[in-house]
Each structure stands twice: as C-alpha cells, then as structure tokens.
Amino acid sequence: MAVALVAPACASARGDENASADPRAIERVARFECPAAARTAGYSRPRPNGRLRVVTTVAPITSIVAAVAGDAADVRGLIPEGTDSHTYEPEPSAARLLATADVVFVNGLKLEDPTRDLAAANVASDAQVVELGTLALPRAAYLYDVSFPRAGGKPNPHLWTNPPMAACYATIAASVLGRADPANASTYQANLAGFVAAVDDLDQRMVAATATVPDAQRTLLTYHDAYAYFAAHYGWTVIGAVQVCSFEDPSPKEVAALIRQIRREKVPAIFGSEVFPSPVLAEIGREADVRYIDTLRDDDLPGHPGDPAHSYLGLMRSDFVTMVDALGGDASALEAFAPTGIVPDAAEYPQ
Ligand SMILES: [Zn+2]
C-alpha cells in the first residue's frame, strides 16, 4: 500500500491541482468501457489436466478472481494482506507455488513486477501470466500524479477502486479461466454474471450517494494515492495523498500548503488507514481542524477470510460508506447494499 517506489513519491503531499496532470486521461477513465478483447482473453492449454490451479497477488484481485472461479478452481493469493504491495518482494518459496500454477493473475501497471517476473521465470510452459490492469485499460488512460509521476514510469495501478474496472478484471478472468478449463467455462460465465450484477448495483448506489455529497466536498486527502481511478469515475477530486514512509515525511512547507488548502476548500474530513497509521495526516487533521478518519483500505480486505465482508465488494462498500458519510452525504443506499448471487469465496488469503 503506502511506501512509494520512487523518492519523490515517498512522502508525497500535494495541494492545489487535481490528482492527474492529464485531464484527457481523467476523461478517458470517466468514459471507461471494458475492451471487447477482455471477453476473449487467454488461450487453451494444450493438455488440460484436471482442476485448475490459479495464483493471484493482492487481496482485491484474489477476491475478484475467486468470485469468478467459485468452487471450480483453486485460487491462492500471494501477497499477504496488510503488506505494502508496492514494495513486496516474494519469498523464494513462492517460485514453487508459481511453478504449479496454470494461471497467474497480476494487476500489472508495474504494481507487482517482482512477483510477475518470478512468475514468468517459473511457470510451466503451458501456463499463462495475465496482467489484468494492462489488458483492461489503454495506456492513454493511465493516470500519473504526484505519487506516481510520469517521469518515474510507474502509473497509478489502483484500477480496482473503480467498480467498472473491477468488473472488467472479472470479465478477463472468466475468459482466461474458461479457455484454460473449458469443462467449467459455463460455470465461470455464470459466476461472472452474478459478480458483475453486484458490482453494477454497488456502482449505481455510489453514483446516487455521490449526488448527496455537496459538490465542493467531493474531495479526498488520503494516506495513500489509491483513489485516482475512483475519483475520475465519480467526478471526485483527489487533493492529496500523504504516504506512510519510513524515510522522510512531507516537508513542513508541503504540510502547511495542504492545511491551507483544506481550510480554504472547507474539506470536512481527511482519510487514513488502520493498517498504515499516518501521524502526519493525524497532525494535519488537528491543525486544519477537520475530522481524521483512519479506516480506509485499498488492498487489505475487511474482516477475516471467510467473512462475507472479506471481499472486493465488502472493501468497496466499506470505503464508499466511510467517504460519503464523513464528507456530509447520505450513505444509507450503500449501507443497504447486500449482494446476492455471489458464489462463496474459497480462495486462500495469506495473512
Ligand atoms: Zn496501493
């Protein structure tokens, strides 16, 4: 999650402009449609040999893939929840797990390159490594911002905070799994339909809830720059991200600029994470006299594996309720969200 990959991103704090330097990219995200190629992604295994073994990386992706796989395939996540996925280096033992995989799903957009590289070096010759984000989003719609500057070459990778993009991930997964395991292709498609219907429902509730948040208050200052694609989709503005960082904190000047901006724009609340406490954000909240809510998450699912809330949909519902409520909107439609038609999640989530 937090600690960024390049020095300037490490302690990024910002003010004044929108999260992305490129309004055309924001516009492209706002008009996102899952590409037609998502429905035909993947290829057949030369020798289908029984139950499909699937390996994934971060927990939201594990959950999305598990919602498609149901009980027809084995799904194992690799990156432990509560770990900084941006800097995660897989254990050497992960090579053995990857060597047994039929399909490896990663996010791509350079989020988990060490894991992707380890997978590419170790998977069997008839296995496939699939970059969901790279297949879902055209390069021209990648968002770069202060935490993920274009000069650093690593786009903001958090596509899953945008529900239509998560539905696209699932569409790709259903195609890849169905082509690798034709005997269960119709199961994967049926599971996909249930998941996409639930994502659409949540998305519509969030559109309705956004309308209840006063225009000027649809703003995010967060512990981590994970909501750029979310913001572009719902028409919110990311005014800053203050990363947890062991090396350096934002400069006093950057902090002062954020405090001024929060006061000027009358932002009612700023957001941190339970998993990555941010003393700097807490301090900014005190100085600017706004609420500091420390319960957002981006790749750490709520509850424990096996709980219904421990899921991609549970994660998004929790974040959306938290944001809408704290920023003065009515979150009741989101609170009432109770998806049906989702298959039980049997994936393994390392903790
Ligand atoms: Zn992240």
Q: What is the pLDDT of residues 293-339, one digit of tens each?
A: 999 999 999 999 999 999 999 999 999 999 999 999 999 999 999 99
Angular region, 276: left φ>0, alpha ψ -120 to 50, beta rest? beta
Residue 286 and residue 261 share a domain: yes
Verify that 22 and 89 share a domain, yes or no: no
CA of 83 to the centre of ligand 1 (A): 10
Same-domain status, 163 and 264? no
**How far is ligand 1, taken at its centre, from the CA of residue 126, in Å?**
31
CA of 105 to the centre of ligand 1 (A): 17
Q: 18 pLDDT band (50/70/90 cuts)?
A: very low
Does residue 54 register a pLDDT over 70?
A: yes
Question: Per-residue pLDDT tens for 109-141?
Answer: 999 999 999 999 999 999 999 999 999 999 999
The rounded Å distance from CA 351 to ligand 1 centre is 17
CB 135 within 8 A of CB 38: yes
* Chain segment 76-101, per-residue pLDDT in tens: 999 999 898 999 999 988 999 999 99
What would the pLDDT profile of 169-203 be if each residue is shown by its tens digit? 999 999 999 999 999 999 999 999 999 999 999 99
Question: Ligand 1 centre and the CA of 294: distance in Å?
Answer: 16
Instruction: Give the chain's domain count.
Output: 2
Q: 321 and 213, same structural domain?
A: yes
Give 332 Cα–ligand 1 centroid separation in angstroms: 27
Last residue of a domain, one of 139, 170, 193: 193
Q: What is the mean pLDDT of residues 211-221?
A: 95
pLDDT at residue 39, as a whole number: 97
Taking the centre of ligand 1 as the mean of its atom positions, its distance from the CA of residue 76, in whole angstroms, is: 20
How far apart CA 104 and CA 73 sit, in angstroms, is 13
CA of 224 to the centre of ligand 1 (A): 7
Residues 188 and 223 in one domain: no
Q: Is the domain of 187 the same as that of 223?
A: no
Cα–ligand 1 centroid distance for 271 (angstroms): 14
Would you state the pLDDT for residue 47? 64
Q: Which domain holds residue 298?
A: 16-28+206-335
pLDDT > 60? residue 7 = no
List, for residues 284-293, the tens digit of each pLDDT value: 999 999 999 9
For residue 244, report the distance from its CA to the centre of ligand 1, in Å. 11
Average pLDDT (254-267) is 89
Q: Is 4 inside any structural domain?
A: no
Q: Are residues 210 and 95 in the same domain?
A: no
One domain for residues 107 and 212: no
202 Cα to the center of ligand 1, angstroms: 22
Q: How far are the Cα atoms of 19, 161, 222, 292 from residue 269, in angstroms, in the given order?
A: 18, 19, 10, 6
Structure confidence at residue 279 (pLDDT) = 87
321 and 330 Cβ atoms separated by less than 8 Å: no
| Residue 343 forms part of a structural domain | no
CATH assignment at residue 304: 3.40.50.1980
| pLDDT greater at residue 248 or residue 9 | 248
Q: What is the pLDDT of residue 10?
A: 42
Same domain, 42 and 144: yes
Question: How many angstroms does the Cα of residue 80 sit away from the middle of ligand 1?
Answer: 13
Q: Indicate whether 8 belongs to any domain.
A: no
Report the candidate in 67, 74, 65 with the shortest Cα–Cα distance to residue 41.
65
Tell how far the Cα of 157 is from the centroid of ligand 1, in angstroms: 7
Residue 324 Cα to ligand 1 middle (Å): 21
Share of the chain above pLDDT 90, in %: 76
- Tell how far the Cα of 114 is from the centroid of ligand 1, in angstroms: 15
- Do residues 191 and 67 make contact, with C-beta atoms less than 8 angstroms apart? yes
Say which residue, 148 or 175, is predicted with more confidence: 175
Domain for residue 23, yes or no? yes
Ligand 1 centroid, distance to 62 Cα (angstroms): 15
Q: Are residues 24 and 57 in the same domain?
A: no
Is residue 81 domain-shared with residue 163, that is, in the same domain?
yes
pLDDT confidence bin for 252, thresholds 50/70/90: confident
**Does one domain contain both 43 and 156?**
yes
Q: Which of 132, 158, 193 is the last residue of a domain?
A: 193
